[in-house]
Amino acid sequence: MDISRELLRYVDVGLLSRSDFEKLLELKNEHVLKIITQFVDLCSPNKLTVISDAQDDIEYVRNMAIINREEIELALAGHTVHYDGFFTMSNHDQARDKNNTQVLIPKEEQGKYPWINTMEREQGLKEIFEIMKGCMKDHECIVRFFCLGPKGSRFSILALQLTDSFYVAHSEDLLYREGYEEFKRLKGSNDFFYFIHSSGELIGNPPVTKNLEKRRIYIDLQEGRVLTVNNQYAGNSLGLKKLALRLGIYKANNEDWLTEHYFIMGLHPRGKSRTTYACGAYPSACGKTSTAMLPGQTIIGDDIAYIRKWEDGYCHGVNIEHGIFGIIKDVNLQDDPEIFKALTSPRETIFSNVLIKDNVPYWLGDGRKHPETGFNFSGDWYHGKEDIDGIEIPLAHPNARYTIRISELPNANPNLNASNGVPIHLIFYGGRDSDTMPPIIESFNWEHGVYLGATIESETTSATIGKEGVRTMQPMANLDFLVVSMGRYLKNHQVFGKNLKYPPKVFTTNYFLKNEKGKYLNGILDKLVWVMWAELRVHNDITAIETPIGYIPLYSDLKFLFREYLNKDYSKEEYTQQFSLRITKLLSKLDRVEKMYSREENIPDFFWNTLMQQRKKLNFLKSEKGDIISPLDL
């Protein structure tokens, strides 16, 4: 079939302009053209628009998002707000839909992946193609080209996006690097991911997805693509976001590198003339972005990283994005000053699912006096408003978001777009754990670090649809996105670190430890102290206390760091509360870990050996010193 003739047919019927036709031909890539024709014919848009890297093209996307009311302009220059679909507090399109996110795998592989929502590939494709038939009727389909990672880098992967949402396309302009010119350099290759999205039938003003019961997000590993329909929330609709993370994990685990749910930041210790680069993985709403944006430090990325072995003996990492799609709840001047300043300054920013009053956005925990009325995701809002189930509707959704470019932030790291990435010296893993793990622990070695990352637990939050407060295992904060077996994933981590001359040091953090009365033992900015303690440990500037679960800080070092970075007194009582070993709680966690990982046959031996040694040491310590052991007694 002559694909260019098929495209010319679109020109003849007024679907595609002659200039956009020429843009596609300039790519000299039949794979791109076949994908476009296949899905235009399936989805039936009334217009097809091709966006290049030209500023006029990119500006067209933003303007159309406003004209179509997918975004509404706000008082500050560059600020807009977007709303996702809402019927009730339990039936909405304002968080990731885990149940309808399926990995499509061959029939013979069914049942091999206990952690992953899977569907037989042919069955899944048949279903979603049926749902997508005509899904773009009366919509304009936008063809986008992006680069995941810095341009011209051996890290980077190109991505093709078709969507009928100008909000999605505008968000991608803030989050990703342009890729039209990069696609020309493919020289006809099919070495790229592609993503097809439709918001489906729309209702309301502003327009939102109507048929949420037909929301589907299907990851087709065989074709390196994602098909997603009947949604607008960015975690479900932005192909290059968490959906590309899954494709990247699959590719990396077949090619001896890592795709991880990592931020990348530069740590700048006071009195030291060095930058130490750290990665960190946290489930949604567990402090990931606020860690990456800590005062006095610099940010490269807050969400997804590609990590490769490098010639200098370190692993190097790049941020596949150049923007932030962050949870806005509890962002205020006191606790997250860098983010708050960015969100209250004129610059291109998209808010989602917040309250608007007099064209000013408000959100939960913003530290300001809130209006009693306004407009939010539920329409006209007033304090005390309830949904049809009698559940009170908050002024902003707990998973409300913001989208901004990192390059416009004063704390952007100068290596944001470095083609070689940055050397990774340490890795943080963290979750939401109210009663077990201390605020920070250092691993004994790389293998122990992989084990610590694999045994992160977290209590569920509003970032995913479902009940909140349920404790779940969150290995490397990546369980929701895995598309390979856990055994293979952990083994690949083990081997990756062993092949490095200087593997990163690994730490776990827990910002959510509470006392018996339910009060948090960590202040929100205390994380700066834990992070800077880890930085000193990487360079062997201070010593630490060895425990069965890893190294913990000395009181004298924390006392100094609290004074140095937060100008706070840190008492021995606080230290004892936070860093006492809760032996029974720790043993119970080991039981949960063992139960979870016993579901899969091929978990590597180093993992089980680490678990058994830890259990033995904890039992011995309990027999010697009791159930709650003060760090001052270790």
Report the pLDDT value the prediction gives residue 108, as an integer from 0 to 100.
85
Strands 426-431 and 505-510: parallel
Give the pLDDT band of residue 503 (cuts 50, 70, 90). very high
pLDDT at 188 over 60: yes
pLDDT-derived band at 348, boundaries 50, 70, 90: very high
Both 495 and 572 in one domain: the answer is: yes
Q: How many CB atoms lie within 10 A of CB 264?
A: 28
Phi, psi values for residue 3, rounded to 5°: -65, -35
What's the pLDDT score for residue 470? 73
Determine the distance from the C-alpha atom of residue 146 to the mean position of all C-alpha atoms in its chain, rounded to a whole number.
18
587 exposure class (CB count in 10 Å sphere: 0-12, 13-18, 19+): middle
Q: What is the dihedral of CA 346, 349, 354, 359, to 10 degrees?
A: 40
- What is the Cα–Cα distance from 146 to 178, expressed in whole angstroms? 5
pLDDT of residue 498: 96
**Same domain membership, residue 284 and residue 137:** no
Q: How confident is the model at residue 2 (pLDDT cuts 50, 70, 90)?
A: confident
Arithmetic mean of pLDDT over the chain: 95
Percentage helix, strand, coil for the chain under 3-state DSSP, each rounded to 5:
35, 25, 40
Q: Quick check: is 91 in a domain? A: no
Q: From 372, 407, 442, give the residue that closes a domain.
A: 407
Q: Of the ranges 123-127, 288-292, 473-477, which is most confident?
A: 123-127
Note whether 303 and 398 are same-domain residues: no
Would 84 be classed as within a structural domain? no
pLDDT band at 464 (very low <50, low <70, confident <90, very high): low
Q: What is residue 76's predicted lDDT score, i.e. its pLDDT?
A: 98
Q: b/e map of 337-359 (b: 16 or more CB within 10 Å)? A: ebbbebbbbeebbbbbbbbbbee
CB-based burial, 283-310: b 16+ in 10 Å, e otherwise: bbbbbbbbbbbbeebbbbbbbbbbbbbb
Asked if residue 465 and residue 379 are part of one domain, the reply reads no
| pLDDT for position 113 | 80
Among candidate residues 578, 582, 606, 586, the one with its CA nearest the CA of residue 445: 606
Distance CA 579, CA 530 (A): 12
State how far the alpha carbon of 272 is from the alpha carbons of 269, 415, 442, 535, in Å. 6, 19, 21, 11
283 found inside a domain: yes
Confidence of residue 465 (pLDDT cuts 50, 70, 90): low
Pairing verdict, β 349-352 and 315-319 = unpaired
CA distance 571 to 569: 6
Report residue 155 as tokens. Answer: 């890290």
Above 80 in pLDDT, residue 374?
A: yes
**Chain centre distance of CA 524:** 20
pLDDT, residue 508, reads 97
DSSP letters of 500-563? -SSPPEEEEEETT-B-TTS-BSS-GGGHHHHHHHHHHHHTT-S--EEETTEEE--HHHHHHHII
Residues 63, 125, single domain; the answer is yes
Read off the pLDDT of each residue in 204-221 and give the average, rounded to a whole number: 97
Q: Assess whether 58 and 121 both reside in one domain.
A: yes
Active site residues: 286
Is 72 within 8 Å of 356 (Cβ atoms)? Answer: yes
Residues 426 and 439 in one domain: yes
74 within domain boundaries: no
Of 353, 381, 407, which marks where a domain is finished? 407
User: What is residue 96's DSSP assignment?
Assistant: B
Q: What is the pLDDT of residues 383-422, one digit of tens each?
A: 999 999 999 999 999 999 999 999 989 999 999 999 999 9
Neighbours of 108 (CB within 10 A): 8
Domain housing 402: 326-407
Number of compact structural domains in the chain: 3
User: Of 440, 439, 634, whose CA–CA distance to 537 is shortest?
Assistant: 440
Residues in the chain: 634
Cα separation, 85 vs 227, whole angstroms:
19
Q: Specify the 3-state DSSP secondary structure of 162.
A: strand
Per-residue pLDDT tens for 285-329? 788 989 999 999 999 999 999 999 999 999 999 999 999 999 999
Instruction: Say if residue 114 is in the same domain as residue 178.
Output: yes
Instruction: Work out the pLDDT band at 114, boundaries 50, 70, 90.
Output: confident
177 and 287 fall within a common domain = no
Question: Looking at 407, 428, 455, which one is the last position of a domain?
Answer: 407
Examine the domain organization and report whether 264 and 247 are in the same domain. Answer: no
* Cβ 200 vs Cβ 345: under 8 Å: no
Residue linked to tokens 């975004």: 71
Q: What pLDDT sits at residue 633?
A: 93
pLDDT band at 463 (very low <50, low <70, confident <90, very high): low
My answer on whether 234 and 370 are in the same domain is no
Model confidence over 576-585: pLDDT tens digits? 999 999 999 9
Reported as a pLDDT band with limits 50, 70 and 90, residue 107 is confident
Is there a domain that residue 608 lies in?
A: yes
Question: Does pLDDT of 47 surpass 60?
Answer: yes
Q: What is the dihedral of CA 236, 240, 241, 247, to 10 degrees?
A: 90
The pLDDT assigned to 247 comes to: 97
- 455 with 572, same domain? yes
Which pair of structure tokens corresponds to residue 360?
């000013």
Looking at residue 520, its pLDDT comes to 95
Question: Would residue 76 count as lying in a domain?
Answer: no
